[in-house]
Structure 1
Amino acid sequence: MKHVFVATDGSDTAMKAIDMAAEMAAKFDVPLTVGHVLQFARPSAELARMAEIEHLAQSASQKSTVDFRVLTGHSGDLFSDTRPSGDVVTAITAIGDEIVHRADARARELGVREVDTMTEQGDPADAILDMATSAGADVIVVGHRGLGRLKSLLLGSVAQKVLQHADCTVISVR
């Protein structure tokens, strides 16, 4: 093992993945890269709920001049085919920065000496694979959301797509 990459969306399952990746990187004294895929295509109400639950909006808003109420679904719809407004893009980017900042801090707490962070946009599985390749990772750690069998069969999951297409070892954490 020479380099570990972990993907996070700020969820509880992703935090478990961060812990596992950090413990491996610390144990083998290898670099860890934390990656986050900016969620421009997610419904705004879902993003607002995630931000409130994780208290991400509060932390991110202190570092930004954006009114985070744009994520409530009333001022902008992130699910539309058009590009979101500038404030929505800035808010989502600030939340993404906060997610990787927290993951970086957690990894260092667990003893990782070298941590790097990245954010990308696009299809989550493709972006994760691209970031891992760019980082030079030979191990990818992702959280598994646990979609139901039928839903997973019809839609697939990010973890499943990463596992199928990665050229390196992939660990899916539940």
Structure 2
Amino acid sequence: MKKILVAIDGSDMSLKVLTKARQIADKFEAEVLVMTVVKKLRVTNYYTGGELNEQMDKQVENSAKKILESAQEIFQGYKGKLETILDYGEPAEEILVLAEREKPDLLIMGSRGLGGFSRVMLGSVSTKVLHHVTCDMLIVRNEK
């Protein structure tokens, strides 16, 4: 296994996904790509104009950067190559585009985000990706 793509959304589930990805990556010293996808939110309001959208975009982008920083913390000291990626758009579509471009041997993601960016990346995302991705996929499930 040479390359692993990890898709996270900032929920508590993301920490489980990253931990599992680190365990697998350590065994293979694979190149690891950790991505999060931000769906830009649009509010139409005559009084606030574009200011509200700009503020929301900045806030969401800062949260996404913190998510990727947590990945760097979990992979601290990793011997292989680690790259973090922040993308914008529909999560399932962006994950599939990156998977097609990078051709990972394995894609790892959670079954369902339950916090953080759960409004952006839910169980329907992992289902859509599962049905369209061309590489092997590991879905990390939430313990009940």
TM-score tier (shorter): 0.7 to 0.9
Residues paired across the two proteins, number: 129
Give the alignment's Cα RMSD to 1 decimal: 2.4
Give the share of equivalent positions with the same residue, in percent: 31
Does structure 1 retain, via aligned residues, the 8 Å contact 2:13–2:113?
no
Q: Does 1:136 align with 2:123?
A: no
Which runs of at least 4 in structure 1 moved beyond 4 Å after TM superposition? 81-84
Question: Please, what TM-score do these two structures have when normalized by structure 1?
Answer: 0.66
Structure 1 residues 18 and 164 mapped into 2: Cα distance closer, same or farther (>3 Å)?
A: same
Letter in 2 for 1:129: L
Offset of 1:91 from its aligned partner?
1.4
Contact 1:38–1:120 under 8 Å retained in 2: yes
Distance 2:3 2:39 in 1: 25
Q: Which has the higher helix share?
A: 1
Under a length normalisation based on structure 2, what TM-score does the superposition of the two structures give? 0.78
Flag structure 2 segments of 5+ consecutive residues without an equivalent.
115-121
- Aligned to 1:9, what secondary structure does the other structure show? coil
Q: Return 5+ residue gaps in structure 1 as ranges.
A: 42-77, 148-154
- Which has the larger displacement, 11-20 or 28-37? 11-20
Mapped to 2, the partners of 1:81 and 1:137 lie a distance apart of 39
Aligned-partner Cα distance in 1 for 2:55–2:18: 29
Between Structure 1 and Structure 2, the one with more strand by share is 2
- The residue aligned with 1:13 is 13
Is the aligned partner of 1:96 residue 2:64? yes
